Chains A and B, each alone.
Chain A
Amino acid sequence: MKSVTEQRLLVTGNEAAAIGVKLSNVRFISAYPITPQTTIVEKLAEMVSKGELKSRYVEVESEHSAMAAVYTAALAGSRSYTATSSHGLLYMHEMLHWTAGMRVPLVTSVVNRAIGPPWNVWADQSDSMNQKDTGWLQVYCESNQETLDTIIAGYKIAENRDVMLPLMSMEDAFVLSHTSEPVTVPNQSMVDEFLPEYKPEFVVDVNNPRGYGSYATPEGPFMELKYDMVSSMERAKSVIRDTLREYSDTFGREYSGLTENYMMDDADYAFITSGTLASTAKYVVNKLRKEGKKVGLIRIKFFRPFPQEEIREALKHVNAAGVIDRSVSFSAGGSLYSDVIASIYRKLDVPVSGFVAGIGGRDVRISDFEHMFSLVQDGTEGMQWIGLKEVD
């Protein structure tokens, strides 16, 4: 059911993220600026100063501190948010493990940007792919609409008692973060109904003193607690599916779950990718279909938890697939590629090609996709770099 009072606005991905934060009734925000995340936190600071958003906004001196402040604020009982990118996210790495291990259901926006040297501010998912083993749920958004919706749905997923893990929502630098698109902004009262007030089970209370995160020995519950995180990540899959279905029903979207399949029903070949490369891929799929080539796309929206089941199901009837990583994983193939291969191992006999494309913001053109398609058709194995220039 659509709300009559929802608004249609022309906004950048970063503005969409800020609007999502505001609608989610976040009470505590702390962040440190880094291009191309800055316009998110500037927008939030502006909303707070105008009184449109009733939050505390604390300007800290580093990303490590930003994450430290938001996890403690959440433990002390306030819904909290931060945003970062690239080197900022790397600087947070220790804290990312800590917040997930503390089971604090934060939502954090990450604008995917390359890691230096050399300095480069353009789109590249190496920053968040580096964090894949921190215990955070990871969503790679394809549009500004999805960026907004993911924050609201993200809090509901993260705060679910079956999950209680933080969630990272990604936007490709500039392609989403600084590009305007029409976005439907849901109305506040409907969001309030969808996303109840933050009420954690373990909140800091002097009348019920507890310890949060002291040490555990090899015989203590350490291993069990890590196992519980892994189980929660698995349980998160059905929570994600249910929550996105409910979100779609409530706000009139079409989010199907951890992945999005495009023209996969009768596909002989499949592209697999994430983020905005999926938009180009969809265009190319349409083009190749007109040429009589039966190709489809699996967009990996949730990279954590990893959608093994969805990928296996979608690849059941294809002849070959090609995975496109917009990130570098040294010596082990791409991160998406490795996980896709691992999820079909001994279950499906499908050749999978791997591609590294578009890193450091390099354009991935229609002709590049057509080239990748021919390599997939040929069953080319291993990782190929797409769009490399001759260097002497």
Chain B
Amino acid sequence: MPLSIPATELMEPGHTACHGCGATLTMRYVLKALGKNTVMSVPASCWAVIPGELPYRTLDVPMIYTPFAATGASITGIRESLDLQGKQDYNVVGFAGDGGTADIGLQSLSGAMERGHNVFYIMYDNEGYMNTGVQRSASTPAGAYTTTTPVGPMRNYKKQPKKVVADLMIAQGVPYVATATVAYPEDLIRKLKTATEIVGPKFIQILAPCPTGWYFPPEETVEISRLAVKSKMFPLFESIKGKFKLFRPGSPVPVSEYLKKQDRFKHLNEAEIETIQKSVDERWNELVSREKTV
């Protein structure tokens, strides 16, 4: 297959992310896909810090920072205001973490999607509040250690399953919903390009492994994100105007392969891993049947 990743680079050196940061790779690919006619809105998150201290900026696109809860509403204002001035050719992108999306920002995301603005909402999913020091979010998977779900004798790790934000968006009728991850950049970029063809709201959830918060060596980011897909912990799918398509990994692996690579899961015993495997299988089967019904 010929390489389909655009050579354009809109991210400059000098950012302040951790080594091996999946969120940084995510931004880099998103900008490669969308190009220079892009306006970014970024709430409180690692990405509010990564581009660098004021007045410097390591991205060659306009960036508006916004309070934590306001991403959806902020892209509403930008989009409508630009349209009023005839700037329909600008891509307007909300770029928020999983906390800013699944938790505090869900109301404003849902509102923006419901109103149908022609915007992109990128949820870079590092499965926790990383900027504030690795706390739990609704998108943290069950079984994970975080600093607010620590593992003492009471085994007080995250008990609830990962909130399925992409499914919520599909249920809301968002015309383009997809999941992607940095291990498959061609797929990621193709999805963004497909999304560009759609006039209306587009929601893309991108798994962005975080060496700092998942406790793995920084050089393993891509491998871990590939294992997330192969183990079906993070299924890749796409829903275009309700038509659902699931991507099947070439050589699937058990979830233990994925879990054992990250110290956030190291406390889990066999039985607990088995429970996770079961819930992953159930979700996968549900996704497979969903594909068949459409």
Contact = CB atoms under 8 A, between A and B. Distances in A.
Do A and B share a complex?
yes
A215 B53 contact: yes
Contacts of B57: 209-211, 214
B152 interface: no
B187 interface: no
A330 interface: no
Among A56, A66, A211, which residue has the most Cβ atoms of chain B within 10 A?
A211
Interface in A63-97: 64-66, 68-78, 80, 94-95
Contacts, number: 161
A77 B56 CA distance: 22
A182 interface: no
Interface in B48-82: 48-49, 51-57, 59-67, 69-70, 72-78, 80-82
B111 A60 contact: yes
B140 interface: no
Contacts of A58: 76-77, 80, 115
Interface stretch (B35-43, B159-167, B215-223, B285-293): B35-43
B32 to A, nearest CB: 16
A59 B76 CA distance: 10
A69 B84 CA distance: 14
B26 interface: no
A114 B228 CA distance: 52
B135 interface: no
A65 B53 contact: no
Contacts of B76: 30, 58, 60, 65, 68-69, 72
A388 interface: no
Interface in A300-344: none
A30 B55 CA distance: 30
Contact of A211 (B36, B55, B74): B55
Interface residues of B, number: 45
A4 interface: no
Contact of A72 (B38, B59, B75, B90): B75
Contacts of B41: 72
A282 interface: no
Contacts of B63: 209-212, 214
A66 to B, nearest CB: 7
Interface in A208-251: 208-217, 220-221
B70 A68 contact: yes
Contacts of A220: 53-54
Contacts of A212: 62-65
B89 to A, nearest CB: 9
Interface string B223-250: 0000000000000000000000000000
Contacts of B110: 61
A216 B56 CA distance: 10
Contacts of B37: 206
Nearest to B64: A212
A95 B67 contact: yes
B126 interface: no
A66 B83 CA distance: 18
B85 interface: yes
A209 B108 CA distance: 26
A77 B52 CA distance: 25
B107 interface: yes
Contacts of A208: 62
A216 B48 CA distance: 11
Contact of A73 (B56, B65, B80): B80
Given A62-B107, A65-B108, A214-B52, A72 B64 contact: yes
Among B56, B67, B110, which residue has the most Cβ atoms of chain A within 10 A?
B67
Given A28-B80, A60-B73, A204 B62 contact: yes
Contacts of A209: 57, 59-63
A357 B37 CA distance: 55
B74 A68 contact: yes
Contact of B77 (A69, A206, A213): A69
A69 B64 contact: no
Nearest to A213: B65
Contacts of A94: 67, 69
Given A60-B111, A211-B55, A214-B63, A206 B39 contact: yes
Contact of A65 (B49, B52, B55, B111): B111
Contacts of B83: 56
A56 B70 CA distance: 19
A193 B278 CA distance: 70
A221 B59 CA distance: 20
B115 A204 contact: no
A355 to B, nearest CB: 37
Given A72-B75, A209-B57, A78 B84 contact: yes
A62 B111 contact: yes
Contacts of A221: 54-55
A76 B52 CA distance: 22
A135 B57 CA distance: 26
A66 B107 CA distance: 12
Contacts of B56: 211
A77 B108 contact: no
Contacts of B69: 64, 68, 94
Contact of B107 (A65, A70, A95, A205): A65
A262 interface: no
A66 B73 contact: yes
B81 to A, nearest CB: 4
A66 B64 CA distance: 16
17 contacts: A30-B73, A56-B80, A60-B73, A64-B108, A70-B77, A71-B74, A72-B78, A76-B77, A76-B82, A204-B78, A205-B62, A206-B37, A209-B62, A213-B65, A214-B57, A215-B48, A216-B54
Interface of A: 27-28, 30, 56, 58-62, 64-66, 68-78, 80, 94-95, 98, 204-206, 208-217, 220-221
Closest 3 CB pairs of A and B: A72-B77, A65-B73, A61-B111
Given A56-B80, A72-B76, A211-B65, 19 more contacts: A28-B77, A58-B76, A58-B80, A59-B115, A61-B114, A62-B107, A65-B70, A74-B77, A75-B77, A77-B81, A78-B80, A80-B81, A98-B66, A210-B63, A212-B62, A212-B63, A212-B64, A214-B65, A221-B55
